[in-house]
Amino acid sequence: MSADRVLRGRLLIEGALQPGWLEVAGDRIAQVVLEGELDSTAPIIAPGLIDLHIHGFGGADPLTDLEGMGAALARAGTTAFLPTLFPDHPERLGAHAESVWKSAQACSAGAVALGVHLEGPFVNPLAAGALPRELLATPSVASLRAILGGDGRGVRVVTLAPELAGSGELIAELKRCDIRVSLGHSRATYAEARAAAGDGNCDATHLFNAMSPWHHREGGLAGFALTGGVRRAEIIGDLVHVGAEAFELALAARGTDGLCLISDALAGAGTGCDHFHAHGREHEIRSGAAYYPVSDERDAPQLAGSALGQLEALRGLVARGVLSIEEGLTMASLSPAKNLGMEEQRGSLRAGARADVLVLQGDQLELVEVLVGGKSAL
C-alpha cells in the first residue's frame, strides 16, 4: 500500500523525542523510521491523546450530541475517549449508556468513543463531590445488571467506593463482565482499598479528588493509589483540582506509566465561555475549572469539573515546569491506552497501529495537524 502521508520531525517513541519520520497508509501507521539528528525546532509527532474521563466538550455532552463532542475533541488533540456519565437510577442510567453506545457506533468522524465510563452510582454520599447525591445507589449485583442489560451497553469502566456494603460482590461481577473497576468518590481506608483491589486489577478515579487523603497514620485511598495498590490512577491536569506540588508527588511516586492524564471536562470546556448550563445546573468557569456558583444551596462556589481539554491542560503543566513535554504526552496517550489494553493499536507510534497522530509546533505546542484514523480532523 502506498503512503498517504509522510510526517517528519521529533517522534515520541517510548517516552522520548527522537528524530525520524513515519508513513501513514489508510487508517494505519505503515512505517516508523528513526534517523537523523535531533532538531529542537522540528515539529513534534505524537500519538493522539486518549481521555478516560470526560463528561462533555465543545458545548456538547454524550447524551445530547456525542458526534459533536467527538468532533470538538479531535480538533483539540484528543482522538479517543470514554464518554463519562453522571449517576442516575439504575434503569435510567442503563438506558443512557445504551443510547450513548449506539450513538458511538454511528459516528463516522471525530474522536472515537471507546466505551462508556460510569462515574457512580455506587459511590459514597460523603465523598460525592459534585455528583448528585440523590441519584446514588447502594452497591448490588441486581442494580448493576439493570444498568448493563444483556449486552453490557458499552460500559467499559465503573467508578465505585470500595468501603460500601456490597461493593465486594459488585467488583467481582464487574471483573467477570470484563469491565474495569476504578476506585473513587470514596472514604475508604488504606486497608479497605487494599481488600477491595485484591489482585491489584483496579484503578483510581481522579487521584486526590473526592477520596480519603494521605495521612502519615492512615494512608487512605490516595495513599493506596500512590504506593502502587492500583494499576493506574487518573489525574486531572488543570492545576486547580490538583496543585503543582501534589502533581509532582504523584509523578515521583507512580511515574508516567502509573498515571493517566484526564480532563474531567464538562460541556463548557473548549468553548471560551464564562458560564454554561449542563446536567441541570448552572456553571461558571474560573482559572480553567468549572464551579457550581453561589446559590440558595451553597454559600461558596463548589468545584465541579474542568474547563480544559487534555492538550490545553498539558500546555499549562509544561509551562509551569510540572511535567516535561514527553511526560505529559505519554501520560495522555500511551498510559491510558495501556489501561484499556489497547497499546498495540493506540497511544503509540508503531507500524500497524491506528494512525491517530498529532503534529505540534513550537514552545506553545501549537496543534497544526490531527489525524484520526489517517484522516485530517482540523
- What are the residue numbers of the active site? 264
Neighbours of 176 (CB within 10 A): 9
Report whether 38 contacts 17 (CB < 8 A).
yes
Give alpha helix (H) positions in the chain. Answer: 62-75, 90-106, 141-148, 167-176, 190-197, 220-226, 244-254, 310-319, 325-331, 334-339
Burial zone of 349 (CB within 10 Å; 0-12 exposed, 13-18 middle, 19+ buried): buried
What cell numbers appear for 159 in the block? 467508578
| Nearest one of 196, 205, 147, 198 to 167, comparing CA atoms | 196
Report whether 306 contacts 292 (CB < 8 A).
no
Report whether 207 contacts 233 (CB < 8 A).
yes
> What residues are paired with 306 via a beta bridge?
265, 289
Torsion of CA 175, 334, 47, 58, to 10 degrees: 60
Dist CA 272 CA 265 (whole Å): 13
In this structure, what DSSP letter does residue 265 have?
Answer: B
Neighbours of 245 (CB within 10 A): 9
